[in-house]
């Protein structure tokens, strides 16, 4: 069987290193949850800050988790034959799973405490993290769009079958951190005249109060958009965005836009350039500032940015699966007798089949901590799209608005 090349200096050089001492108990708990049969080592992106951070390298290095958005330079995974007469023909590497990295009571005090999962968390994880496939079937061999996997960097035959090399690069995005959302308040009084007539349309065409006082609260989540119509907002009192025990918005919210697992990629923060700005395609679409009638004024879709909820997941762990195809070469020259030669070839074929079926699949892990650097830029960008932050002279006036134009 082909086996991974375990490098004790991988925390600084990159590649596959040994399982770290403090990770053993967490990996055992992780395997009980995700069903991965074993982890053979830890994947270290090249140029880790292990040396800079003055961590002790080697078997018990206690290297910190990798950070989202940090560039992963070309980092190779080497697979080598384990038997003298074995040769590796090819290797296939995939990033197949995302899970929550288990937390302990004695973890870093800056790390949030363990969270209580709701039925919504379970649904999101099952649909997005690899438990049942579907939307999470790796595209281009990776579940996270930010990660690039290159198979067989150099043809294994170039090394006579003694080494097979795959490569990981790119970056870990916020794809797996599904629990983020931002919230807005929308109303005619902010210059959003697309809300004209909303107070009448709501409440069965019965006009209640002044039209410009009608407000809606929108929550842009990764499972869709939830809206509370005719919302009462008390000046000077902080808005709350409650969720029920099931994890879904409560207190009068309903789902305006439905998102299923197959659409999640459009709602995930996974592109670095988008991550610095509006977050993702859908958040961009629903927060854009549109042209008003005649294109002479601006009609914002967002009135006020009321809040942004960062992730509570803190640290995830990515599972990297490596499988190899190898062949067992005959130990001795084939007998001259045809029947004896066939028996010998059959024995070698059985050994090769056994090696490939039973022993040539390996799993490695990569803990990743959330990095909020892009979040600050993202919130600021969205904030600038809000109606209250746009030059009043650029906003449409009510007399400019023509119903049905937007």
User: How much is the pLDDT for 108?
Assistant: 60
User: How much is the pLDDT for 358?
Assistant: 45
> What's the rounded Cα separation, in Å, for the pair 304 and 283?
15
Do 75 and 98 belong to one domain? Answer: yes
Average pLDDT rounded to a whole number, residues 305-318: 93
Which pLDDT band holds residue 138 (cuts at 50, 70, 90)? low
Do 132 and 53 belong to one domain? Answer: yes
405 falls within a domain:
no
Question: Is residue 316 within 8 Å of residue 368, measured between CB atoms?
Answer: yes
Determine phi and psi for 238, rounding to 5 degrees.
-65, 135
CA dihedral 127, 130, 132, 137 (to 10 degrees): 100
Do 207 and 295 belong to one domain? Answer: yes
Which pLDDT band holds residue 333 (cuts at 50, 70, 90)? low
> What's the rounded Cα separation, in Å, for the pair 367 and 39?
13
Query: Is the confidence at residue 336, as pLDDT, over 50?
Result: yes
- Say which DSSP state 386 is in: S
pLDDT tens readout for residues 179-224: 999 999 999 888 888 887 777 776 666 666 677 788 999 999 999 9
383 falls within a domain:
yes
Which pLDDT band holds residue 8 (cuts at 50, 70, 90)? confident
How many C-beta neighbours within 10 Å does residue 179 have? Answer: 17
Tokens for 248, please give them: 């879904």
329 versus 55: the higher-pLDDT residue is 329
Do 272 and 324 belong to one domain? Answer: no
Q: Strand pairing partners for 290?
A: 299
Using alpha carbons, select from 80, 92, 94, 77 the residue that is nearest to residue 2.
80
- Say which DSSP state 331 is in: S
Between strands 181-187 and 304-309, the pairing is: antiparallel
Do 296 and 348 belong to one domain? Answer: no
406 falls within a domain:
no
How many C-beta neighbours within 10 Å does residue 295 have? Answer: 8
pLDDT tens readout for residues 249-305: 998 999 888 787 778 888 999 999 999 999 999 999 999 998 887 778 888 999 999
Domain, as residue range, for 13: 2-177+313-371
Which pLDDT band holds residue 343 (cuts at 50, 70, 90)? very low
236 falls within a domain:
yes
Using alpha carbons, select from 230, 219, 238 the residue that is nearest to residue 187.
230
User: How much is the pLDDT for 348?
Assistant: 54
Which pLDDT band holds residue 52 (cuts at 50, 70, 90)? very low
Per the listing, tokens 């059959």 go with 346
- Say which DSSP state 142 is in: B
Do 337 and 391 belong to one domain? Answer: no
pLDDT tens readout for residues 22-47: 899 999 999 988 889 999 999 999 87
Do 211 and 73 belong to one domain? Answer: no
Per cent of the chain over pLDDT 90 is 43
14 falls within a domain:
yes
Do 396 and 365 belong to one domain? Answer: no
Using alpha carbons, select from 228, 218, 217, 215 the residue that is nearest to residue 189.
215
Cα–Cα distance list, 149 to 27, 33, 141, 166, 237 (Å): 24, 26, 6, 7, 49
Query: Is the confidence at residue 315, as pLDDT, over 90?
Result: yes
Between strands 41-44 and 86-100, the pairing is: unpaired
CA angle 248, 251, 253 (to 5 degrees): 60
Q: What is the mean pLDDT of the chain?
A: 82
> What's the rounded Cα separation, in Å, for the pair 403 and 299?
12
Q: Strand pairing partners for 324?
A: 91
Do 132 and 229 belong to one domain? Answer: no
Average pLDDT rounded to a whole number, residues 137-161: 81
- Specify the number of domains making up the chain: 2
pLDDT tens readout for residues 71-130: 999 999 998 887 777 788 888 999 999 999 988 766 565 566 667 789 999 989 888 887
Determine phi and psi for 217, rounding to 5 degrees.
-105, 125
Between strands 2-4 and 71-81, the pairing is: antiparallel
Nearby residues of 80 by Cβ (< 8 Å), 6 or more positions away: 2, 3, 4, 5, 88, 162, 163, 164
Average pLDDT rounded to a whole number, residues 388-393: 89
Query: Is the confidence at residue 334, as pLDDT, over 80?
Result: no
Between strands 86-100 and 315-328, the pairing is: antiparallel
Do 155 and 250 belong to one domain? Answer: no
Do 256 and 360 belong to one domain? Answer: no
| Gyration radius (Cα) of the chain, Å | 27
pTM: 0.85
Do 72 and 170 belong to one domain? Answer: yes
350 falls within a domain:
yes
The secondary structure of 5-53 as a DSSP string is ---TTHHHH-EEEPPPGGGHHHHHHHHHHH------EEEE-BT-TTTTT
């Amino acid at each position: 069987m082909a086996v991974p090349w375990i490098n004790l200096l991988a925390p600084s050089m990159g590649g596959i290193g040994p399982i770290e001492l403090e990770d053993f108990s967490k990996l055992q708990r992780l395997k009980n949850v995700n069903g991965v049969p074993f982890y053979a080592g830890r994947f270290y992106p090249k140029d880790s800050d292990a040396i800079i951070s003055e961590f002790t390298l080697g078997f018990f290095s206690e290297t910190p988790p990798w950070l989202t958005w940090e560039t992963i330079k070309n980092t190779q995974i080497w697979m080598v034959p384990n038997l003298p007469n074995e040769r590796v023909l090819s290797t296939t590497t995939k990033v197949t799973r995302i899970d929550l990295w288990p937390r302990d009571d004695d973890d870093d005090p800056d790390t949030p405490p363990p969270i209580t999962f709701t039925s919504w968390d379970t649904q999101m994880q099952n649909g997005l993290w690899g438990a049942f496939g579907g939307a999470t079937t790796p595209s281009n061999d990776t579940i996270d769009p930010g990660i690039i996997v290159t198979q067989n960097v150099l043809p294994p035959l170039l090394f006579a079958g003694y080494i097979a090399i795959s490569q990981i690069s790119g970056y870990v995005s916020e794809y797996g951190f599904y629990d983020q959302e931002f919230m807005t308040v929308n109303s005619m009084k902010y210059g959003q005249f697309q809300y004209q007539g909303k107070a009448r349309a709501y409440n069965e065409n019965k006009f209640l109060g002044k039209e410009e006082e009608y407000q809606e609260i929108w929550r842009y989540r990764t499972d869709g958009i939830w809206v509370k119509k005719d919302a009462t907002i008390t000046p000077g009192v902080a808005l709350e965005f409650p969720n029920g025990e099931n994890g879904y918005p409560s207190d009068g919210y309903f789902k305006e836009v439905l998102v299923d697992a197959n659409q999640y990629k459009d709602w995930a923060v996974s592109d670095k350039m988008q991550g610095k700005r509006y977050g993702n395609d859908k958040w961009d679409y629903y927060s854009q500032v549109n042209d008003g009638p005649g294109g002479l004024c601006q009609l914002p879709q967002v009135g006020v940015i009321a809040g942004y909820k960062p992730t509570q997941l803190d640290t995830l762990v990515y599972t990297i699966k490596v499988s190899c195809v190898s062949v067992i070469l005959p130990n001795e020259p084939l007998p001259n007798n045809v029947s004896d030669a066939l028996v010998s070839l059959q024995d070698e074929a059985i050994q090769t089949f056994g090696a490939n079926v039973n022993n040539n699949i390996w799993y490695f892990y990569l803990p990743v901590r959330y990095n909020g650097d892009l979040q600050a830029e993202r919130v600021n960008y969205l904030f600038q799209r809000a109606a209250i932050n746009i030059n009043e002279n650029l906003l449409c006036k009510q007399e400019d608005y023509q119903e049905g134009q937007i």
